[in-house]
Amino acid sequence: TQLLEQSPQFLSIQEGENLTVYCNSSSVFSSLQWYRQEPGEGPVLLVTVVTGGEVKKLKRLTFQFGDARKDSSLHITAAQPGDTGLYLCAGADNFNKFYFGSGTKLNVKP
C-alpha cells in the first residue's frame, strides 16, 4: 500500500491542454517534492514545498501544498510534448525518509 496516492495514473492529452495531477495522503509530511522521470533515467527534482498552503510556480507548472501538509497538486498550463514523462510526488518525514507516490504517466501528443 502506497502512503501517497497519485491520480490519475495515466493521462494522455493534446498539446496546449491544461492538466492537474493530485497527490493525497492521510499522513502529514514535513515537506513534499515533485519529480519528473524519463525512461531509463532517475527522477529529477522539480520543486520542494514546505509550508502548508504554499504555492510555487515554475514557468507553466504550478505546485500547491495543502493547508494540512497532507496533499499536493501539480497543474500544467498549455502542456507541450516535452512535458511527457512520469510525475512523482514524494513526502519527507522528520527523519529524512522519503515516501514516493505511484506516479502519473503523462503523454502529451503534438
Partner 1 sequence: GAGVSQSPRYKVAKRGQDVALRCDPISGHVSLFWYQQALGQGPEFLTYFQNEAQLDKSGLPSDRFFAERPEGSVSTLKIQRTQQEDSAVYLCASSPGVAGGNEQFFGPGTRLTVL
User: Of residues 45-64, which lie at the interface with partner 1 (CB under 8 A)?
Assistant: 45, 48, 50
Interface pick for partner 1 out of 72, 74, 83, 103 (rule CB under 8 A): 103
Residue 53 has which C-alpha cell? 498552503
Task: Give CA–CA dist 98/108, Å, rounded.
Answer: 28
Cα angle 18, 20, 40 (rounded to 5 degrees) comes to 95
Amino acid type, 44: V
Interface pick for partner 1 out of 14, 26, 42, 59 (rule CB under 8 A): 42
Interface pick for partner 1 out of 14, 26, 59, 95 (rule CB under 8 A): 95
Closest separation in Å from C-beta 17 to partner 1: 23
